[in-house]
Amino acid sequence: MDKEISKYQLKEGKTVFLQVSESNLPGKQVCTAQVKNRKTVDFTKLADEVARVNRIYTADAYAIMFRYMTDEIYRAINNGCDIDLGFGRLELAVRGSFTTPLAPFDPEQQELVVNFVPSPRMKQLLAHLRCKNDTEMNKRQPFLSSVNTENREQYENWRRVNCLPAGQPTNLFLFGKRIKLVGEDPNVSITFLSPTGESYVYHPADVVYNTPSSLLLPPRFELTPGTWKCTLQTQYREAGGLYKAPRQAILQFTVSENPPA
């Protein structure tokens, strides 16, 4: 397989944008990411680019040669070979479980799949690419944007910040989308988790001002310096009615002796 090249030969690539999502089920604080907005280039476009750069053969000639190589790859796999493509290997693997070590292969329970093993150069290229979280929230999921002790969101240099002053707050305001605290499920609540592990819970009846975009909570605890976490679980449904199970939003914020003004 292709080996790594000199770092001076690596060119700046386009940023990889990610869509990150979290579990809506209480107790499952797991986030996963998917790559978004990547266009697909087929072998005819690749042939056009090779012909433009090298000008040895026409694009049609490169495309025909690629198709011949593709057909040969299919034959090699059919004849019991894994394929070294230079930029990676194609290797057969089995997906699915067997009931016993001697159980026969059952196409309804197991299947053959092709795994791609990237080359050292491919791994080097992937490590060189920049990634950016470009998440757009699901329109049905609650979203917490900020928390403050005043009835406004905090901004510094046009960027939203979540840094509160230490001490006993007069009020606590939450801002976001679809955050109205409603529902009959016992898990419907707002929980503040302090840096030292203490939990402070609010239920719908505790909320003074309860709307889809902002909430007003009475103060029940002192804000101590460090990183806090606010978890909101609600059955609020923007189209009316209630969701069967609570949906969750999480916000981390900082408490400091010297917060931004």
Q: Are 30 and 23 contacting, i.e. CB atoms less than 8 angstroms apart? A: yes
Q: Range with the lowest mean pLDDT among 22-26, 49-53, 126-130?
A: 22-26
Give per-residue pLDDT as tens, 80-136: 999 999 999 999 999 999 999 999 999 999 999 999 999 999 999 999 998 888 776
Q: Region 196-203: what's the mean pLDDT? A: 93
pLDDT at 132: 82
Alpha helix positions (H), the chain? 43-54, 59-78, 120-128
pTM over 0.75: no
Q: Tell me the domain boundaries of the chain.
A: 26-79, 82-136, 143-256
> Class of the 143-256 domain?
mainly beta
- State the Cα–Cα distance between residues 1 and 31, nearest whole angstrom: 34
- State the Cα–Cα distance between residues 134 and 144, nearest whole angstrom: 16
To the nearest whole percent, how much of the chain has pLDDT over 70? Answer: 91
Residue 26 has pLDDT above 60, yes or no: no
pLDDT at 160: 52
